[in-house]
């Protein structure tokens, strides 16, 4: 099973490297939202610091959501998903490799870009480790939950709006915990509680969502 997971991870990495525009779109969107916000509310450092936790997390959430609509679409169109469903290998393992590759090339890049954009908002340097850790724990949850919606809507021609309606309510706990951890760090308070909760949700998502994604793909391919 580990060999299958590794081979599929390498395959997905090669395919993603051939489509650099799909990888760049979420990052460009994330950067533009953060860069335009000071122009809208003004250059006051104190105001930007106060709003930065929620702004960064909302922008990250929307950037991840933007990249998820086409997660399984190319595989659905070329028939790869049908082969996955009838494969003797466990479908949850295959979709977990797919989502891991997606996160490594989009979610992890977003995590690495976030500190630079946070400093543009005047976020103190002491908050950067909490920002990195919260995004490192939270973005895999966003990718895994979003993949469930992508699996259910992969057969629809215009499933982007339905995907957002299905997934955004599930993102709310992650948004609250992630922005709450940053807000606590900004106020000089410990953010360990929020980070532990994010870690627990990450472990739960990695354990359970591959089965939900596999069930959604089975339904979509069967239709």
For residues 108 and 26, the answer to whether their CB atoms sit within 8 Å is no
Q: What is the pLDDT of residue 26?
A: 87
CA distance 152 to 42: 41
Q: What is the pLDDT of residue 182?
A: 92
Residue 201 tokens read as 């949700």
CA distance 23 to 12: 13
Q: What is the pLDDT of residue 222?
A: 64
Q: What is the pLDDT of residue 8?
A: 78
**Phi and psi at residue 122, in whole multiples of 5°?**
85, 15
CA distance 114 to 26: 12
- Comparing CA positions, the residue from 107, 61, 99 lying closest to residue 210 is 99
- Each of the 223 residues of the chain gets a pLDDT tens digit; together they read 667 778 878 887 887 777 777 778 888 999 998 888 888 877 777 888 888 888 999 999 999 888 887 788 877 877 778 888 888 888 888 888 889 888 988 888 899 999 888 888 888 888 889 999 999 999 999 999 999 988 888 877 766 677 888 888 999 999 999 999 999 998 888 889 999 999 999 999 999 999 999 888 888 876 5
Residue 188 tokens read as 């000089």
């Amino acid at each position: 099973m580990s060999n299958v997971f590794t081979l599929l991870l390498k395959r997905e990495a090669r395919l993603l490297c051939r489509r650099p525009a799909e990888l760049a779109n979420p990052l460009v969107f994330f950067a533009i939202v953060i860069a335009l916000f000071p122009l809208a509310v003004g250059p006051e450092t104190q105001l930007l610091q106060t709003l930065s936790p929620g702004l960064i997390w909302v922008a990250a959430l929307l950037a991840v959501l933007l990249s998820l609509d086409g997660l399984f679409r190319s595989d659905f169109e070329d028939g790869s998903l049908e082969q996955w469903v009838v494969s003797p290998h466990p479908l949850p393992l295959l979709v977990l490799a797919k989502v891991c590759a997606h996160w490594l090339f989009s979610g992890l890049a977003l995590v690495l870009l976030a500190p630079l954009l946070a400093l543009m908002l005047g976020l103190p340097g002491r908050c950067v480790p909490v920002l990195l850790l919260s995004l490192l724990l939270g973005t895999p949850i966003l990718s895994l939950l979003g993949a469930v919606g992508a699996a259910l809507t992969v057969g629809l021609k215009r499933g982007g709006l339905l995907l957002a309606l299905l997934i955004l309510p599930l993102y709310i706990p992650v948004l609250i915990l992630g922005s709450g951890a940053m807000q606590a760090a900004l106020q000089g308070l410990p953010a360990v509680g929020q980070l532990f909760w994010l870690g627990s949700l990450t472990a739960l998502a990695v354990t359970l969502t591959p089965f939900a994604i596999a069930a959604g793909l089975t339904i979509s391919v069967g239709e």
